[in-house]
Amino acid sequence: MDIDFSSYSDVELYGFLREAKGLRDAAFTEIYERHSTRIYLYCRKILGSSDLADDAFQETFSLFLKSVGGSREMTNLPAYLLRIARNVCLQMVQRVRRRPESVFEDGFFAADVEMTPVERSELIALLDVALEVLPDEQREALILQVYEDMSYQEIADFMNVPLTTVRNWVVRAKKRLRDELQQYWTDYRK
Amino acid sequence: MDQLSASELIYVYLDGEATPLQQELLFSHLAHNQELQQEFTDALSIGKAFRQERTSSKPPLYLSSRVFADAGIPYHGVDVAAVSAAAGASWFSLRRFILPVSAMMVGVLATYAALTYGSLFSGADSGTTASNESTADVRDVPSRRGSLAMQSDVMLSTATERTSARAVSGGAADVKGVSGSRERAEIVSDVQSTAASPSASSEVSLSGTESTRDDLGDAGMSATSEFGAWTERRISVVPYASSQRLSTVRRAESVVPGFVGTAASAFTLQANRLVRADVFGGSSGTASAGDPSLALLMNLDDQWSVGVSFSRNAYRFSDVTAQGMVLDNPRFTVVNAEAQWISDEAVAMDAKLFSRAAVGVAGVSGALFGTGSFTVGLQIPVSVFTLQPGIALESVLVNSRSGLPLHTRISFVTGIGVNL
C-alpha cells in the first residue's frame, strides 16, 4: 500500500527516519523534496562556488541522516537543516576565502549586458555576482532574509545577534547591492 | 543605527519590517524626492529578482543523485549528464559492431520475409487458405483471403555484456471486400527477454490499411541499419563511489567525441498514398536493444508526408551503476511530429532526394526535454530494391539550469526497401 507522505508534518517524517528502510527511504525523499531547494540556495549563495556548494549541500544531508540515530527531539526541521548547512558552509568558508573588492569594473555592463529588454534572469545573475562583495555577516543575513524568507527576528535568533544588528546588515547589504549595480541601472534606464 | 535614513527605510519597508511611524516617514520623503523614488524602484526590482530565483531554483539532478547515493536510497530522478558521460566516454569498440551486424541480419530476415510473403501484398494468389472464399469477387480483384506470417529474430547485445533474445511473431489477414477495397489487419506480438536480467514484455500493435484495387502494388518492406557517430558538445563526468563521498571528483567539461554503433531494424508497410507505419526496433551504445518506436505518416501527395512518431527508449546505466550511481534504468518516451519530403524529380540518375524533419518532446521521469532531428538522403532504385543512404542529425536539448548537456548524434543511415 502506498502511503502519501506529503500529508505528514516534518516532525512526523523525521520520526519515520528511525523506522525500517522502506519507510525511512520514503520519508527522506519527502523531506528532501520539501527542503532541498532552500538548502541548495543557501549553500550556493553563501559559498558562491558551485563545486563547494555542491559538496556542502551533500554534506548537509549526509550529516542530517547521521544525526537521526540519536535521541534528538525534532521541533523545527527546516531550521535544523539550515543550521547544519550553516556549520558546513562556515567550515568551508574558512578553508577557502577570496573576495574581490568590487566585481564590476567600468564598462562591464556596456560590454556584456543587453539593455533592452532586460531580463529579470539577467538581474539575478548579476546579483549573484554582486553578493560576492558583501561582508560575510551581511551576505548571510541577506540570504536568510531573501532566500529563506526569515524575518529579522528569526535571523537574529538563528545567528544569535541582536535584531537591530540584523536589520542593519540586511539594509546595508541591499544598499551595497544597489550601488554595485549602479552602472546596470544607469544603462537600463537609457 | 536606530535612526534610519529615508533611503534605509525603503529596504526595511520592503522587507515588511517597518513600523507605522517609519512607513509614514518614508512616504513623506518619497512624495517629493525623485532620487529616493528611483532607489525605491530599484529596490523593488531587486526584491522581485530574489523572489523569482527563490521559486525557480532546484538542486540539479546530478547533485540529487549524489545525495541519494550517499544515503543509500534509490533515487528516481534521472541524471542525463551522467548518462551522457557514460555514453561519451564509451569509445567505439568491437562489441558494438555486433549490434549493427545483428540488425543487418534482422534486415535480411525482414527482406526475406518480404520476398517470401510478398504475394500477400502483390495480390497474386499463392494458394493460401481462403477462409472467406464465399465473398464474391465481382470486380476481379486478385484474391487473397488470409495469410499468416511468422518471423523470429535474435539480437545479440554485447554492449552490456548481456544477451537479449527477441522473438517476433505476427499474423496478418487480408480481407477483400465486395466493393473492391482491401483491408488489412495485423497483430504482432513481441516478446523480449534478457538473459542477465530476466524480463519479458509483450506488445500488441494493430494496424489497418485500406486501399483500392488499383493501388495494391506499392506495399513493401524495408530494413534499416545505422552506424552512428556520437558527439557531445559537453560532457559531465561524475565518477564517484556510492559507498563513500568523494568530494574531490568534479564534473569536468570537455569535448569527448566518441563513436557508438547504432543499429536498427524497421518494418515498414506503406500503402500507396495512405498510411505508412514504421515499427522500429533500434539499439545503440546507450539505448537498449529493441527500443520500440512507431511512426504513422499520412502521405499528402507524391512528395509530402506528415505524421507522428512515438518511441520508448530505455537507457542502460550499466556503465554508471558500476561506478555507484543509483539510477533505475529510466525510460525515455519521445513523441515527435514528423514531416517527410521527397523530390518530384530525380536529382541524379534515378535517385530522388528525401529529407525528414521531426520535432518533439521526450519525457524522462516526469521531466520534459526538447528533441529534434533532421535527415537527408537519397532514394536510389536498383531493380526491385530502393537503397536509402542518408545522414541524420539528432539532438536532445536538456535543461541548461541543471547543467545538462546538449546531446547531438550524427548517424549515417542506410536503408533498403523492396518494391513489390
Predicted ipTM of the assembly: 0.73
The pLDDT, as a whole number, for residue B127 is 31
Using CB atoms, pick whichever of B1, B50, B57 lies closest to residue A146.
Answer: B50
A147–chain B Cβ distance below 8 A for any pair:
yes
Note whether A62 contacts B67, CB cutoff 8 Å.
yes
Note whether B50 contacts A147, CB cutoff 8 Å.
yes
Answer yes or no: are the C-beta atoms of B252 and B236 closer than 8 Å: yes
Q: Is the pTM of this model over 0.90?
A: no
The pLDDT, as a whole number, for residue B223 is 37
Answer yes or no: are the C-beta atoms of B285 and B230 closer than 8 Å: yes
Best of B73, B75, B236, B400 to disrupt the A interface (most A CBs within 10 Å) is B73
pLDDT band at residue B72, thresholds of 50, 70 and 90? confident
- Reply yes or no on whether the pLDDT at A166 is more than 90: yes
For residue B401, give the DSSP letter: G
A163–chain B Cβ distance below 8 A for any pair:
no
Rounded CA gap, A28 and B145, in Å? Answer: 62
Note whether B4 contacts A171, CB cutoff 8 Å.
yes
What's the distance, Cα to Cα, between the start and end of chain B in Å?
91
For residue B316, give the DSSP letter: P
Q: Which helix (H) or strand (E) holds B126?
A: none
pLDDT tens-digit series, residues B131-167: 222 222 333 333 333 333 333 333 322 222 223 333 3
Using CB atoms, pick whichever of A40, A151, A185 lies closest to residue B57.
Answer: A40
A152 contact residues in B (CB cutoff 8 A): 15, 17
B337–chain A Cβ distance below 8 A for any pair:
no
The pLDDT, as a whole number, for residue B305 is 78
Q: Span A107-119, mean pLDDT?
A: 36
- Three-class secondary structure of residue B287 per DSSP: strand
The pLDDT, as a whole number, for residue B144 is 34
Note whether A170 contacts B70, CB cutoff 8 Å.
no
Kindly report the nearest CA distance between residue A96 and chain B, in angstroms.
15
Task: Measure Cα distances from B111 to A114, B115, B170, B268, B378 in Å.
Answer: 58, 6, 16, 11, 20
Kindly report the nearest CA distance between residue A149 and chain B, in angstroms.
9
Query: A114-123, A165-174, B276-285: lowest mean pLDDT where?
Result: B276-285
Kindly report the nearest CA distance between residue A171 and chain B, in angstroms.
6
B17–chain A Cβ distance below 8 A for any pair:
yes
Note whether A174 contacts B11, CB cutoff 8 Å.
yes
- Reply yes or no on whether the pLDDT at B24 is more than 80: yes
pLDDT band at residue B395, thresholds of 50, 70 and 90? low
The grid coordinates listed for B140 are: 476481379
Note whether A59 contacts B245, CB cutoff 8 Å.
yes
Q: Which of residues 231-270 of B touch A (CB under 8 A)?
A: 245, 247, 250
The grid coordinates listed for A6 are: 506529503
Size of interface A-B (CB pairs under 8 A): 104
Q: Which helix (H) or strand (E) holds B162?
A: none
Q: Which of residues 99-118 of A touch B (CB under 8 A)?
A: none
Rounded CA gap, A173 and B193, in Å? Answer: 62
Kindly report the nearest CA distance between residue A75 and chain B, in angstroms.
23
Kindly report the nearest CA distance between residue A71 and chain B, in angstroms.
20
